[in-house]
Amino acid sequence: MALDRWIALVILMICLAYGYAAFFTMDAALPPFMRHNPIWPSTFPKILSVMAVLAALFVLLGFEKGAEDPKPMDINYRRLTDYKLGQALALLALMAAYALLLRPAGFLPATVGFLAAGACILGERKLHILLPVAALAAGVVWYLVQEVLGIFLSPWPAIVMNGG
């Protein structure tokens, strides 16, 4: 079985478990007054799980492949070592580090560091352009989340915010 079908099978199993939770366990704890609403908190997860199961089955059964020959740009799973796996694994590790550092380091330093380090991993070397752009992007996102959406997002480390 091809790599894309194995991935589709894994996604199908995850979506089936998610769908089971959405259809059978999420609504059990609803208060009585919400049971008469036309839209429940589980409505979107139900729709999402059904669509994801259909998409995974579509790939798993091979309907997305036409009669054409494979293109040279398609990923060949037998030659995975020819691709830039080091960069991909470094980005995955960077994402995990970002998630772990987001609270202790604060949003702004963690996001600027993530964007700058990610760009460096991908090959950007102009730090005099990279750092101001990363800082501006992090600042704009923080402003939109904090001020426009009204969701509290600590911009600085807890040590700075708590006063030591």
With 0-12 / 13-18 / 19 or more C-beta atoms within 10 angstroms meaning exposed / middle / buried, residue 158 is exposed
Per-domain residue ranges for the chain? Answer: 3-68, 85-159
Q: How far apart are CA 139 and CA 29, in angstroms?
A: 39
List pLDDT tens digits, range 116-161: 999 999 998 899 999 999 999 999 999 998 888 888 888 888 777 6
List pLDDT tens digits, range 6-52: 888 899 999 999 988 888 887 777 777 777 777 777 788 889 999 99
* Residues 6+ away with beta carbon under 8 Å from 39: none
Q: Are 104 and 158 in contact (CB under 8 A)?
A: yes
